[in-house]
Amino acid sequence: MNIKKVMIIGAGQMGSGIAQVCAQAGFEVYLNDLKPEFVERGIGVITKNLTRNVEKGRMTEDEKTSVLGNIKQSTNLQDAQNVDIVIEAAVENMDIKTKIFAQLDEIAPEHAILASNTSSLPITEIAAATKRPEKVIGMHFMNPVPVMKLVEIIRGLATADEVYQAIEDMTKSLNKVPVEVNDFPGFVSNRILMPMINEAIYTLYEGVATVEAIDEVMKLGMNHPMGPLTLADFIGLDTCLYIMETLHEGFGDDKYRPCPLLRKYVKAGWLGKKSGRGFYTYS
């Protein structure tokens, strides 16, 4: 399989990061979102990251121009007819994802791979919305995408070996490290990370320590680059809640019950960094 042209669905935090690393690796990229202003915002973030690379001497101005030249703005799913792979990074919602995959299945060429950057939803169920489940796969990048080395690759029940191999090769060409996992709620990354974050929120909820103290213990005591409550704000509290709900429902075990404080914050619209307030406030 020769992958040259890529479409990224969703120009938010994850989608724009994926578009950046694909464009830097020389792929032709369509960055797609519902409205032109969403795509422009994503291009703005990419431009800022590339400018920092130029300032730090890691890239020339010409290379920056060439990377940006690899990205086409798109607000029309029909552009999927031109690509070899689509990587979907839309919101974490099964109904929305299955609708997008059903549409892409009609539009994308027969050989095209349909990948999802879902952080916890079953790939097998997303694949069932298409008539090409053997070409559907999970490609889970970590945030911030330009910095983090891991891509968790999730095989659905029907994913073909050559599709897995093509995605592993593509991941390496993005200068990332692929790790193969099977399709289970939360895969490996969020099955382990999210219960830790949820437990940190319970620790706060039960008054064991302050926000700052909890983060300090995990940073200085466990050498984590950021504390779990800072990390939760950084990921987005709505995303954390959604993933905990997926684990709770998927395993049916109360050890995955989302902390009531997490629910309360999300109901209040305190979604973390992106909304200006979560466990911390952001200006």
Closest CA to 114 of 140, 134, 91: 134
Binding ligand CAA by CB under 6 A: which of 12, 47, 98, 144?
A: 144
Which residues participate in catalysis according to the annotation?
Answer: 119, 140, 152, 190
Least distance in angstroms from the C-beta of 275 to ligand CAA: 16
Task: Give the side-chain half-sphere CA count within 13 A for 164.
Answer: 15
Q: Tell me phi and psi for residue 151, to 5 degrees.
A: -130, 120
Binding ligand CAA by CB under 6 A: which of 143, 261, 263, 280?
A: 143
Which C-beta is closer to ligand CAA: that of 148 or that of 268?
A: 148
Chain residue whose CB lies nearest ligand CAA: 119
Measured distance CA(279)–CA(272) in Å, rounded: 7
Peptide bond into 144 cis (omega under 30): yes
Q: Tell me phi and psi for residue 271, to 5 degrees.
A: -100, 5
Which C-beta is closer to ligand CAA: that of 156 or that of 228?
A: 228
User: Contact between 47 and ligand CAA (CB under 6 A)?
Assistant: no
Segment contacting ligand CAA (CB under 6 A): 128-136, 225-233, 256-264, 269-277? 225-233
User: Contact between 247 and ligand CAA (CB under 6 A)?
Assistant: no
Q: Which two tokens stand for residue 57?
A: 């001497």
Local structure of residue 258 (DSSP, 8 states): P
Binding ligand CAA by CB under 6 A: which of 91, 147, 222, 268?
A: 147
Quick note: the x/- pattern for ligand CAA over 166-195, rule CB under 6 A, is -----------------------xx--x--
Which C-beta is closer to ligand CAA: that of 40 or that of 206?
A: 40
CA 31 to chain centre: 14
Q: Which two tokens stand for residue 190?
A: 């969020």
Residue for token pair 């620790």: 203
Measured distance CA(178)–CA(88) in Å, rounded: 18
Least distance in angstroms from the C-beta of 62 to ligand CAA: 20
Q: Which two tokens stand for residue 22?
A: 């694909």
Check if the beta carbon of residue 115 is closer than 8 Å to that of residue 123.
no
Binding ligand CAA by CB under 6 A: which of 16, 32, 49, 171?
A: 49
At 218, which amino acid appears?
Answer: M
Residues making up the binding site for NAD(+): 10-15, 33, 92, 97, 119, 143, 274
Chain residues in the site for ligand CAA (CB under 6 A): 49, 52, 56, 119, 142-144, 146-148, 189-190, 193, 225-226, 231, 235, 239
